[in-house]
Structure 1
């Protein structure tokens, strides 16, 4: 029985260059920023509207998902929304890959706790217990709306296959990481969210490293998007648990680990990140 692979052939006549993914990113940014910028202005008191800023954050986070669904639809030249969702909801992958995507991701973040404490962070036992108690509901929220399906059906379900079909894997994943970082930019204008207090250049470096790690995981799993959704969810949960357990969190430590992990994946795979298609310049059309 034929299986979906990240190295699938391109059908005749499907070469469209980077135009489809360019439209995707334009839509993803527009569909998110139209909500997140007003949310930031409301929280700053610049926009005198009596709407809780949090109400605007959730629909904004759905931007990449809706952009992918629009671009995958036949009116926009895609193969159709149903085939796209059928491929995106594919769960089957080797158990070792799910171990990497769950415990491996959590270990990358929580493994920095001893270093954070040595650097001067204070341990908060009650905060750690509260974080553990909230893991189950936070998992559901994050998986659906906090960086899981809402983002990854766009970034790795739609964008990365198109980017890797046209660009070398290292540049495709680096570009995705940079654009992914820029997509989050309005959060730095909103004083009510955690990103507001982070150093943005360091965040860009961390997110780009994370994109390289996820790109490698995506390729070696033959394009399993649900594995990437799971990995992104566990990473976000680990960061949340970390911030609940210690104060302050030293961003440079997290960035060093994530950037080094991405660089390691890039180096060990000689820039291919597990991608095995012999040439670029073709848009992959899975059967």
Structure 2
């Protein structure tokens, strides 16, 4: 697949070919798979439902559409960095160190924002949605292995590549816009929860949480683990319904976090740019 020189270049964490083409391949695969499946749902809903059942998060085609960024990210890493590079990429799942304030935000700050949004909406006192309580366990497992695996593509590949060309703020903002745009089919397919939500606040909220994740991602040296946990917390099924107020609060939080991190957010070269494990002893030097 690669020449010896290309393998050495790829294992250094830098792409052996034009980075724009690599990022384009990832985006074409991601949008092609998700939007292609969405088109089938829109054109042949009765036939698909007859074969696979009603739309839900356990629907195999819905799962495939959601996993598209992760699948595309892993494939693209394998295509350009080889199997050894893919192993180094997954090694980023072992990175867990981040400043304590970021861990505090991850564990307590995210639910605080969601519950504040629910308080504004008036749903904070709604009964716990799982009865008996242990039914929450499979829901948590599904939430952990559903949307968060998108991060193999979004933060695993796309954000480091964008940060090679832009400052962290602009890279996070651009990726947030792409990420929000990718979600459009969810508002068109009957049975998806987004069909009952306000699109404007949702899209702005997606961009905001992308911007917020960017300094957290960089402070953890590009941890895939922390990106996945962040994504999980954002869609944790135990949180109360706070749409659209939580999205508006995320916009305010993004403004505050960007200001607090202003010294690193607006300077190119201060973000994580490696797609492979930093200082991985198993990879070759350029």
TM-score band, normalised by shorter chain: 0.7 to 0.9
Give the structure 2 partner of residue 124 of structure 1.
Answer: 126
Contact 2:95 2:220 in 1 (8 A): no
* RMSD (Å) for aligned C-alpha atoms: 3.1
Give secondary structure in 1 for the equivalent of 2:152: helix
Contact 1:152 1:225 survives alignment (8 Å):
yes
Sort the Cα spacing of 1:221 and 1:233 in 2 relative to 1 into closer, same or farther, 3 A. same
Q: Deviations over 1:46-89 (max 9, x none)?
A: 8685332423111111111111111111x4356732221122x2
Q: Matched residue of 2:159: which SS?
A: helix
> Which stretch shifts more, 191-200 or 94-103?
94-103
Task: Count residues in correspondence.
Answer: 261
Q: 1:22 is matched with which residue: 9, 12, 24?
A: 24
- Once residues 40 and 221 of structure 2 are traced to their aligned partners in structure 1, the CA distance between those partners, rounded to angstroms, is 39
Relative to 1, partners in 2 of residues 1:99 and 1:132: Cα closer, same or farther, differing over 3 Å? farther
- TM-score scaled to structure 2, two decimals? 0.79
Report the TM-score when normalising by structure 1. Answer: 0.78
Provide, for residues 87-133 of structure 1, a one-character-per-residue CA deviation record: whole Å limited to 9, x for no partner.
2x22421472433222222222123232222xxx58432x4454964
After superposition, give the CA deviation of every residue in 1:12-38 in whole Å (9 maximum; x if it has no partner). Answer: 885734221121111111122233332
CA distance in 2, matches of 1:13, 1:180: 23
Gaps of 5+ in 1: 1-9, 244-248
Distance 2:136 2:233 in 1: 10
Structure 2: where are the runs of 5+ without partners?
A: 1-11, 280-286
The counterpart of 1:272, out of the listed 260, 264, 267, is: 264
Alignment of 1:34-73 (within 5 A): 34-43=36-45, 45=46, 50-52=51-53, 53=55, 54-73=59-78
SS at structure 1 position matched to 2:138: helix
> SS state of the match for residue 192, structure 1?
coil
C-alpha deviations, 1:152-187, integer Å up to 9, x for none? Answer: 111111111111111121111011101111111111
